[in-house]
Amino acid sequence: MTQQDMTGAKALWATLVRHGISTVFGYPGGAIMPVYDALTFYPEVRHVLARHEQGAIHAAEGWAKATGEIGVCLATSGPGATNLVTGLADAMMDSVPLLAITGNVARHLMGTDAFQEADITGITLPITKHNYVVRDVEELPQVIAEAIRIARSGRPGPVLVDIPKDIQLAPYHGEITAPHARPEAPAPAPEATERARELLRGAKKPVILVGGGSLDAAAEITALARAWDIPVITTLMGLGAFPASDPLWLGMPGMHGSVAANRAISEADVLLGIGLRFDDRVTGRVSGFAPNAAIIHVELDAAEIGKIVRTHVPVRGDARVAARLLTEGAQKLDLPEWKAQIGEWKSRTRQPDHWGAAHAVQAVVGRLGPDDILSSDVGQHQMLAAQLARFERPRRWINSGGLGTMGFGFPAAIGAGMAEPGVRSVVIAGDGGFQMTAQELATLKMYDIRNVKICIINNSYLGMVRQWQEMFHERRYSEVWLGDSNPDFLKLADAYDVPGYRASSAEELPAAIDAWLADPRSSLLEVVVPHEHAVFPMVPAGAALNEMIEAEPPRAPRKEAKDA
């Protein structure tokens, strides 16, 4: 392409190509048309047309979560841009590296309430790591390069670049900016790691608590735990950072955590937290969290240290480096009593026996191999999947942890599936959440995506909300019943040419799963389960981890809403 032909829009694509971006998810519109026009000159980029900008951004997140690489999405100004808001907030909470590019009205119209103008940088200020309005075409490639660097460096996160339409059209004369080198993460201070080692050496009841910031340090953390022989707990975001098959693994902590994980944290005398931010769903009541433990906190983001829990030994730095340093000079701790106690707690894990959502989720996740990607939406099925799936390696579990975004799972599974076409990308969703982004079935059809396997756990309720109403609102079920208005999910899938399967009992389930997974195309399985089924164990909101309810309590009498 000659220099004369270069426009802002082309410079944008050229920069993305230079950065190795192969796929972008998006939706066109007036204020980004020059970019879509320029796309036709860049056949090396695959653009995936979603059916809603929220679908596009969640797909980009799924891509990023599966690969660890940056996800890219594109939207027009105004409503297109505002439809990205939920995904940006989601990516911010879960530290997902993401680049969102939005068109905007021409510069001379900005601030005039022009057609489809929205102050998207103002709107997204608190939910992006950084954002830009490009005000000079000569800056565009540099801004994109810097946005990508910011999104990926330190604690990753979403960056939005808003490009006025006239800048997309303006001639561009400069160079195309090369990628920035990924900055080295800071190495922890030697005094800090030495103090941490000292604490570990003296520990009688140690545990390691691993969060989503540890996913790329799984090997080092596994070596660390085995060298010291310390049990490991992985948060919802950290699932897969330690192999579930290892006897040292205690499961997930927190609101729907395992008995062993929550009891071990409550009893621990030394807690080594790595790459986590002590979310309230993890800690329960903070004053009751690890009340007896000296806390070592390994974390890249200085602002997370001491934010929620008091830290005795702050270790600021990269999780991989820190884990390696803490493995040096490790000596196996000989703690038979602690091990025996943990063994007893672990034995309290119940396998789902009677027919219900837990049984169904168990049957599905039991069929996954170590390379399969499992995404989930948000609700009971998500917590069940997190409790029951066994992840052997990181980046195989994709869910919306921090924001808890319904509608996330299915498009994220599409993104993950497109990132790794050779791998099965399974999504478990509820009947409620699936309908928030069900239109993305069209995306499967349009690109003939063959590896996405959708499982809908249909309990005819907004199950998780119903569970809270059951437990905390005397079973006054207010606005959570979907049963009368749910679509026939198989017909819905069929309308998009996606094959569907259904099971309504424990007996039907295995064959249905077989058929669903054996189908060479992307396919949908609906599992119809009993309406009222709750997820346990559960730590009620505001309670401490050791105030966990381990099993389903007897039912409170059902009260009609009008009694209230």
Partner 1 sequence: MTAPTSQDHPQRDHLVSALVRDEPRVLTRITSLFGRRGYNIRSLSVGSTEHPGVSRMTFVVTGDRGVVEQAMRQLEKLHDVIKIIDHSLEKYVDRELVLVKVAITPESRVEVRQIAEDFRARIVDVGRHALTFEVTGDEGKITAFIEQMRSFGILETMRTGRIALTRGSNADIPSHVYHGGETETLRPAVEGIEPREERARGVPNLF
Ligand X SMILES: Cc1ncc(C[n+]2csc(CCOP(=O)(O)OP(=O)(O)O)c2C)c(N)n1
Q: CB under 5 to 8 A by kind: which of partner 1, ligand X, none does 432 bind? A: ligand X
Q: CB under 5 to 8 A by kind: which of ligand X, partner 1, none does 420 bind? A: none
How many angstroms separate the CA atoms of 253 and 230, rounded?
16
Residue 357 contacts residue 457 (beta carbons within 8 Å): yes
522 binds ligand X (CB under 6 A): no
Q: Is 469 a catalytic residue?
A: no
In which residue are the tokens 């062993």 written? 260
How many angstroms separate the CA atoms of 8 and 506, rounded?
58
464 binds ligand X (CB under 6 A): yes
Encoded amino acid at 169, one letter: L
**DSSP state letters, 442-457:** HHHHHTT--SEEEEEE
Whichever of 186 and 202 has its CB closer to partner 1, that residue is 186
In 3D space, the residue among 259, 264, 69, 263 whose CA is nearest the CA of residue 148 turns out to be 69
DSSP bridge partners of 210:
234, 274
399 binds ligand X (CB under 6 A): no
Interface with ligand X (CB under 6 A), residue from 90, 267, 279, 431: 431
Whichever of 121 and 467 has its CB closer to ligand X, that residue is 467
Q: Is 408 a catalytic residue?
A: no
Q: CB under 5 to 8 A by kind: which of partner 1, ligand X, none does 183 bind? A: partner 1
* Per-residue contact string for residues 407-426; x = within reach of ligand X by CB under 6 A: x-------------------
379 binds ligand X (CB under 6 A): yes
Residue 513 contacts residue 504 (beta carbons within 8 Å): no
Single out the catalytic residue among 41, 116, 341, 446.
Answer: 116
Q: CB under 5 to 8 A by kind: which of partner 1, ligand X, none does 533 bind? A: none
Whichever of 82 and 341 has its CB closer to ligand X, that residue is 82
How many angstroms separate the CA atoms of 74 and 343, rounded?
50
Q: CB under 5 to 8 A by kind: which of ligand X, partner 1, none does 431 bind? A: ligand X
Whichever of 378 and 389 has its CB closer to ligand X, that residue is 378
Part of the chain binding ligand X (CB under 6 A), chosen from 12-20, 255-263, 458-466, 522-530 = 458-466
The 3-state DSSP class for residue 289 equals: coil
Whichever of 182 and 491 has its CB closer to partner 1, that residue is 182
* Terminal-to-terminal C-alpha distance of the chain: 71
Whichever of 69 and 146 has its CB closer to partner 1, that residue is 146
Whichever of 104 and 459 has its CB closer to ligand X, that residue is 459
Q: Is 332 a catalytic residue?
A: no
The least CB distance from residue 387 to ligand X, in Å, is 13
Q: CB under 5 to 8 A by kind: which of ligand X, partner 1, none does 314 bind? A: partner 1
Q: CB under 5 to 8 A by kind: which of partner 1, ligand X, none does 205 bind? A: none
Interface with ligand X (CB under 6 A), residue from 223, 465, 471, 549: 465
How many angstroms separate the CA atoms of 234 and 214, rounded?
10
Whichever of 146 and 550 has its CB closer to partner 1, that residue is 146
Say which residues have a Cβ less than 8 Å from residue 477's Cβ, sequence separation at least 6: 461, 466, 469, 470, 558, 561
Query: Residues interacting with partner 1, by CB under 8 A?
Result: 121-122, 125-126, 129-130, 133, 139, 142-143, 145-146, 149-150, 154, 177-178, 180-181, 183, 186, 188-189, 192, 280, 301-303, 305-308, 314-317
When CB distances to ligand X are compared, the closest residue is: 430
Whichever of 205 and 281 has its CB closer to partner 1, that residue is 281
Count the Cβ atoms, other than its own, within 10 Å of residue 246.
13
Encoded amino acid at 17, one letter: V
How many angstroms separate the CA atoms of 562 and 300, rounded?
51
How many angstroms separate the CA atoms of 276 and 521, rounded?
38
Q: Is 53 a catalytic residue?
A: yes
Single out the catalytic residue among 464, 467, 489, 538.
Answer: 464
The 3-state DSSP class for residue 442 equals: helix
The least CB distance from residue 544 to ligand X, in Å, is 23
Single out the catalytic residue among 6, 25, 53, 220.
Answer: 53
Q: Is 470 a catalytic residue?
A: no
356 binds ligand X (CB under 6 A): no
Interface with ligand X (CB under 6 A), residue from 28, 29, 238, 463: 463
Residue 258 contacts residue 249 (beta carbons within 8 Å): no
Task: Please tell me the number of Cα atoms within 13 Å of 24 on its side-chain side.
Answer: 26
- Which helix H or strand E contains 470, and what residues bound it? helix 463-472
Whichever of 130 and 531 has its CB closer to partner 1, that residue is 130
The site for ligand X, by CB under 6 A, has a size of: 20
Encoded amino acid at 258, one letter: S
457 binds ligand X (CB under 6 A): yes
Q: What tokens does 481 get?
A: 């019943």
Single out the catalytic residue among 10, 65, 129, 165.
Answer: 165
The least CB distance from residue 357 to ligand X, in Å, is 7
Count the Cβ atoms, other than its own, within 10 Å of residue 142.
17
Ranges within 172-201 binding ligand X (CB under 6 A): none
How many angstroms separate the CA atoms of 410 and 397, rounded?
13
459 binds ligand X (CB under 6 A): yes
Q: What tokens does 393 get?
A: 């390696």
Residue 75 backbone phi and psi in degrees, to 5: -150, 160
Count the Cβ atoms, other than its own, within 10 Å of residue 51.
17
**DSSP state letters, 496-519:** TT--EEEE-STTTHHHHHHHHHHS
525 binds ligand X (CB under 6 A): no
Task: Please tell me the number of Cα atoms within 13 Å of 506 on its side-chain side.
Answer: 9
The least CB distance from residue 156 to partner 1, in Å, is 12
Which residues contact ligand X (rule: CB under 6 A)? 377-381, 404-407, 430-433, 457, 459, 461-465
Q: Could you give the residue numbers annotated as active site?
A: 53, 115-116, 165, 464
